[in-house]
Amino acid sequence: MVGVLVMNPEEKIKRMVQAGGVFTPNAPVNRKDLFAGRQIQVQNLLDAIFQRGQHAIIYGERGVGKTSLANIISDWMPALQKYNYQIVKANCAANSNFSTIWHGIMRELAIVQTKGNAPLFDDKKGLPLDNLLPEKVCSEDVRFALQQVGSSTIIVIDEFDRLTDTDTSTTLADCIKSLSDHSVDATLVVIGVADSIDDLLAEHHSIERALVQIHMPRMSREERLQIIDNGLAKLQMEIDESAKNRVATLSQGLPFHTHALMLYAVRAAIENSRLRIEVSDVETAIKQAVNGAQQSIVSAYQQGVSSPHHNLYKEVLLAAALAQSDDLGYFAAGDLREPLSRITDKAYGIDRYMRHLNEFCSQERGCILEKKGLRRRFRFRFRDSMMGPFVIMKGIRDGLISEDVVLRIREEIGAAVS
């Protein structure tokens, strides 16, 4: 057992900085040795890269680790004895379009020259492919440029859901078809927040044979525990089993929250000159995670629950965060009965809080929830998947519910092992 050590301030700072390099809530994982689980998704992505004419689309909720999966590609290449390749990553913005995306990508790619190529290029230097593209780019321009590269090419297009230009999605599908039909030695990896591929890529049915669809669900409990174990092994630290279970449960399958809670818990232990994390460190981590939450989350929460009177908004939203949900995060109004009774120590019928659920879907309350279905059979979910764990941790911090009650509720509905 690792106990209390004598640590001077310099040693504590050094260890805290190391912790920030291992548990990284504000940045995707970029090292294979810190990447946890996702074996099926990793295999599917590598299959797309190593099979000529195949491309990949990675989709799922915000915060489930889509970008982290793409980030570890470069670690797998040498391990699989692939060395002659280039990787370029492009992040989409709301005002991006097909031309701006590809001009940005091509500026970072270079032609790898060998003797016998056209004499236009120096035989020992790379030439940016941006020179080969017209101002307005079409799918065939991309295909032609990538055929000139001379090495395998992996192109990651992230945050594709942010695009507002609808033509880009259609043109990208055309591009994937052209690259596949001509067997170009390039793999496109498209990443975006979506429930299904239909939400991201238009005309995808015409390219299904060339497209590996990789859905990133929320992490299983085992995968969350693996994040904790991998990180602590790097830091040569330990954790009480109860503290580990609390982190895994509270993060609700989102690696962002697993990383955040572990970072704060590790630092709390180090501050107390310990290399073993205890339940008290997780309690400190919950408070710090709430205090350090993204401003967009905090603002959305405040807009959702603000009221000059006590109208159960906080309690109903907390019950929604604790309710049993399906694979896409949707829950029925009836699923709130039990958690709401635990929070308030009162029994409420659906008619007492249905108004709250509907209001949470309104512009006035920031559309903190969204709903689908028919009247009397509506299903609801948090519009931002990151909100649910925040609401629970804020409820714990503010005394609306105890951490032990949260753990019991999650275990009873089976969410702790989902």
Which architecture does CATH list for 295-417?
Orthogonal Bundle (1.10)
What are the extents of the domains in the chain?
9-25+220-291, 38-216, 295-417
Query: Which H/E stretch holds residue 39?
Result: helix 39-50
Per-residue pLDDT averaged across 366-393, rounded? 93
Domain 38-216 has CATH 3.40.50.720: no
Q: What is the per-residue DSSP string for 327-377?
A: TTS-EEGGGGHHHHHHHHSS---HHHHHHHHHHHTSGGGTT-EEEESSTTS
Strand order from edge to edge, sheet including 379-382: 331-332, 379-382, 369-372
Please write the tens of the pLDDT for every residue from 81-104: 666 788 999 999 999 999 999 999
Fold of 9-25+220-291: Helicase, Ruva Protein; domain 3 (1.10.8)
**Residue ranges of the alpha helices (H) in 80-165?**
98-108, 139-147
Q: Please give the average per-residue pLDDT across 208-219, as a whole number.
A: 92
Give, rounded to a whole angstrom, the gap between the first and last alpha carbons of the chain: 31
Cα–Cα dist 333/344, whole Å = 17
pLDDT at 136 over 90: yes
pLDDT band at 37 (very low <50, low <70, confident <90, very high): confident
Cβ–Cβ under 8 Å, residues 351 and 312: no
Rg of the chain on CA atoms, in Å = 24
Per-residue pLDDT of 156-211, as tens digits, reads: 999 999 998 889 999 999 999 999 999 999 999 999 999 888 888 877 777 888 99
pLDDT at 379 over 80: yes
Q: What is the pLDDT of residue 287?
A: 97
Q: Over the stretch 304-340, which tens digit does the pLDDT of each residue have?
A: 999 887 789 999 999 999 999 988 889 999 999 999 9
The CA-CA-CA angle for residues 77, 79, 80, to 5°, reads: 65
Amino acid 126: pLDDT: 54
